[in-house]
A and B are shown apart, each in its own frame.
Chain A
């Protein structure tokens, strides 16, 4: 755990010097990460509901940085799911077809839920693939295996 906390406390980075609105978020994230590490419980923080001035969010994003994973979701517009420089902390931005941001959150999880393939889509895919390769018994619904 020490590596992360050291980075949070890393001097030289301007954390909340004049506004201080991002500082409590970082503390919350630290505790969320600690909880994830200990018992695997996930946390989601809605950034849009935070009292941020114009530069607070930018500074928070800069502080968290970019990590190893960056995923783009194409559904109802583009969504960007980025792991920050602190593994386990994900930055998620949902945009609509016009490129407007519709939701923005930080998710503390091993993998954000939305990245996982969804059961309905898997079932759908299974049906489509089955009909394409004609492997499945036409009498048997592939989805029913799991119900």
Chain B
């Protein structure tokens, strides 16, 4: 990075760069088809992608990792089609990523500052991990700078932010009850920049690159849902795209992990599958070189791409089950009702006895005709 050739390459468009590498127009179209597939866009979009890539320029990317487990980075670097991703990643200049970069200490921070200065207002900020804000944010610092401060500083000059993973997007496990560090998602700290939430624990790698590709291709962020997630990947629920859906529709459910229904591949709803309320692309994009996804492996969806999925009741209890202990409410309710009912009954009975004591005896004198 940073060589004269590199600087030169950075100046020209993606299409030029591919052509310079001796790749034919056919190859470019194939690249566009792969990119369309990556962005979960319709194949009909290929010509538009081609036109866009002919003009796209190489952006600088700064990647900040906060209160996280590196699962998101792992997910990305182990993504299934490394060369297409690398083609995409080659189109960006990843100027700071403290897990992946060779530099460390002051040199690393210097790289970040340099990238920020050189690309002020144009660079892309990628964040993984939640941001602890309790007690002045002391629970997570990098080079003595709290995560909150660093985020605010870097976000200020960013063109857009991609919050990668459920922690950055919605707070994730750090934000789960009782949230001891006051963990927050990016969107609650930075409110004046376009933010894309690529949720998931971890998010699907191609979704990360798909969003990068979109930014690279169209120089803008993709269409988002009401939770700030790219619609192309989060537009439909796991349930809607699940190959086991016909079993749900027919009412055929596995009731334990080793029963007949489980062996026959029936719907996992009763085993706690959150697929119906989970929006992600697992069912179509799949994991591990497109091999499979949790439901295909026989495990119910945990709903990891949804906000606060840790606090939505047991992973193994059906979506229709309330998240709190209803039986207890029922028992206490009967007790309370019995006490209040007994009180109400006592009042009613005394009212009735009083009425009897005050009985008005009807006599013939009351039968005076009204005329």
Contacts and interface: CB of A to CB of B under 8 A. Distances in A.
Interface of A: 19-21, 44-46, 48-54, 56, 73, 75-77, 79, 94, 96-98, 100-105, 107, 113-114, 117-121, 124
B246 A21 contact: yes
Nearest to A103: B37
A118 B24 contact: yes
Contacts of A19: 243, 246
Given A19-B243, A96-B83, A75 B37 contact: no
A107 B245 CA distance: 26
Interface in B276-311: 283-285, 289-290, 292, 296
A52 B295 CA distance: 12
Contacts of B351: none
B17 interface: no
B23 interface: yes
Counting chain B CB atoms within 10 Å of each CB, the highest count among A48, A50, A76, A113 belongs to A76
Contacts of B170: none
A48 B245 contact: no
Given A100-B82, A120-B25, A121-B26, 12 more contacts: A21-B246, A75-B26, A77-B83, A96-B34, A98-B83, A100-B84, A101-B81, A102-B34, A102-B38, A103-B36, A118-B29, A119-B25
- Sort A-B residue pairs by CB-CB distance and give the 4 closest, nearest first: A75-B27, A53-B243, A44-B43, A118-B25
B283 to A, nearest CB: 6
Nearest to B249: A20
A102 B82 CA distance: 10
Given A50-B284, A51-B245, A100 B80 contact: yes
A107 B31 CA distance: 17
Given A20-B246, A53-B265, A46 B42 contact: yes
28 contacts: A21-B246, A48-B37, A48-B285, A51-B245, A52-B243, A52-B284, A53-B244, A54-B292, A54-B296, A73-B30, A75-B27, A96-B34, A96-B81, A96-B83, A96-B84, A98-B81, A101-B81, A102-B81, A102-B84, A103-B33, A105-B43, A113-B29, A114-B26, A114-B29, A118-B24, A118-B26, A119-B25, A121-B24
A51 B42 CA distance: 15
B37 A102 contact: yes
Contacts, number: 103
A97 B298 CA distance: 32
B191 to A, nearest CB: 33
Contacts of A98: 81-83
A19 to B, nearest CB: 6
Nearest to B81: A100
Given A50-B284, A114-B33, A21 B81 contact: no
A79 B240 CA distance: 30
B94 interface: no
Interface string B113-151: 000000000000000000000000000000000000000
A49 B265 CA distance: 21
Counting chain A CB atoms within 10 Å of each CB, the highest count among B37, B40, B82, B284 belongs to B37
Contacts of A107: 43
Contact of A51 (B31, B34, B265, B284): B284
Nearest to A97: B83
A120 B285 CA distance: 33
Nearest to B241: A51
B250 to A, nearest CB: 10
Interface in B68-114: 80-84
B242 interface: yes
B227 to A, nearest CB: 21
B290 A48 contact: yes
Given A94-B30, A102-B84, A75 B24 contact: yes
A120 B29 CA distance: 11
B44 interface: yes
A51 B241 CA distance: 5
Contacts of B80: 100
Interface string B211-250: 0000000000000000000000000000011111110000
A73 B27 CA distance: 9
Contact of A76 (B31, B40, B42, B284): B31
Nearest to A55: B243
Counting chain B CB atoms within 10 Å of each CB, the highest count among A20, A104, A119 belongs to A20
Contacts of B243: 19, 21, 51-53, 56
